[in-house]
Chain A
Amino acid sequence: MSQASAAAAIATPEAAPRRLRSSFLLPVLSGIGGLLLWELAVHAFALPSYLLPAPSEVMVVMVEKWRLLLDQLQYTALAAVVGFVIALVISIVLGALIAASPAVERVIYVWLVVFHAIPKVVVAPLLLVWIGFGLQSSIIFVVVFTFFPMLVNTVTGLRSADPELLLVTRSMGGTTWQTLRAIRLPSAMPSIIAGIKISITLAPLGAVIGEFVASNKGLGHMLIQSVGSLEVPTAFAAVVVVSILGILTWYLAEWLERVAIPWHASQRGRAAE
């Protein structure tokens, strides 16, 4: 949209319904259209439900088993939240140490890269042996899944402060700690938030994969059990709930971004949207 047409869209009385149509109505219609096509395809090709259940069938299962799904969701969400918070704290502290000291970087970074390069799913059985069965395994999985993007973005952010901005505090006699607080950390926030946005959507995924192998509770466990017993509509119901959790965490991250860095170029004017 050109600047002139954007301005016109804001100015005219028709602008509000038009915005509502494009930002809300069209995605909803697209979603409903997709589900209808899916429903029609299942009936048209007479697909058995153990192969591909119709959306209506998944919906019925969700209504029937809502309490069970909610219980499993709570368990998965707990693992996701606890694991994510642990990963966030570790990545910020470690990121600050790496950014502050080249020696720390040389000692630690190579291990982190090796750790990141190891396929997480492959080591899942080992985690079961080391940590045991239950919530703690899922939490560790979430930490492993979410830690690296936040660490890399924290290091990048802390290192990418404008060198001329650093002169400002230096010229005022600011200490290293004051410079970190006044310049480096706020400068790094967009990068840190970007890392959080990537990681926060990986958190439910990490919890579910942890539950695949090392838990007898949670949506991941429910999913793998349902597939094993060919209760595919139940498995789909679990997938839908995991997806909803993923979408909610994404919007949580979006909100966090708006609150944490309202001054950043990417956020200016978004409050008016």
Chain B
Amino acid sequence: MLNTQDIRIEDVTRTYGVRGAELHALGPISVTLEPGKTTAIVGPSGCGKSTLLRIMGGLDRPSSGRVLLGGQVAKEGTTGIGVVFQRDLLLDWRNVLDNVLLPAQLQHRDLGQARSRALMLLRELGVGDFAMRQPWELSGGMRQRVAIARALLCDPAFLLMDEPFSALDALTRDQMGVLLQRVQNAGQTTSVLITHSIPEAVFLSDRVLVMSGRPGMILDDIPVDLPRPRPLSLRDEPEFTALTRRIRMHFERTGVLTA
């Protein structure tokens, strides 16, 4: 695990060459994400949220600027990062437990310890009884829980989540939010959550960054000072709705949402 756990995004931009033309997709963005906190990033489709997350994970390179993870430049091959993608991306040829163990195998960690932790995570996420089952035997929500267990297996300093619940139904999403809080290793892991859901962003995060349309830039930086652990009933509280209204207003003003 890396020692210092903040994420510093310094003047990051990303442009793509599309049929000879240059598409400015992102930035410039400069922001520091505090260690041990969860930051949600919301914004309209195509604003570069996922691109930013991939740059943080070393899976894409910025056109300019840089991202520092615990003081080290983010690049491919950096360990200590757990990523949960929009699709669960489980490997059909491995059973559930072997899917969760994949990062430990790739990073040559002690497989005995990894196995114990994998089983513990699966139990906490409510899929402990399915450890020896094949991924295709599981529902979408269960598959995504396995993907979360896989991302958390090596106790990452950074947890990057790219719309992890977007393919799930509303009830399962709520349930996943509660489960995620339970296993997220609060205070130890610096987490980034990309989401389209405003309530989900507020419910799960300590801070919400609102992004503009392409090229994506930060429109607002909203602290979420709600107590933890957060029950689902928190969503009915006035403080919660005030925060969601503040985020929604940005999208109404820019025409992403119509009032």
Chain A positions near chain B (C-beta within 8 angstroms): 162, 164-165, 167-174, 178, 182-183, 186, 189, 261, 263-265, 268
Contact = CB atoms under 8 A, between A and B. Distances in A.
A164 B106 contact: no
A263 B102 contact: no
B185 interface: no
Interface residues of B, number: 22
A228 to B, nearest CB: 52
Interface string B76-96: 111101010101010111000
Nearest to A186: B93
Contacts of A263: 92-93, 134, 136
Contacts, number: 53
B57 interface: yes
B89 A173 contact: no
6 contacts: A164-B89, A165-B91, A167-B89, A182-B102, A264-B92, A265-B136
A264 B136 CA distance: 10
Contacts of B59: 167, 170-171
A162 B85 CA distance: 14
Q: Find the residue from A162, A165, A172, A268 having the highest chain B CB count within 10 A.
A: A172
Please provide the 8 A-B residue pairs with the shortest distance between their CB atoms, ordered closest to farther: A171-B83, A172-B103, A186-B93, A174-B106, A263-B92, A173-B79, A263-B93, A173-B77
Q: Find the residue from A168, A174, A263 having the highest chain B CB count within 10 A.
A: A168
Contacts of A173: 76-79, 106-107
A244 B56 CA distance: 60
A162 B77 CA distance: 20
Contacts of B87: 164
Contacts of A169: 102, 106
Contacts of B105: 182
Contacts of A178: 106
Nearest to B153: A172
A167 B76 CA distance: 10
A183 B107 contact: no
Contacts of B83: 167-168, 171
A263 B134 CA distance: 8
Contacts of B78: 173
A162 B83 CA distance: 17
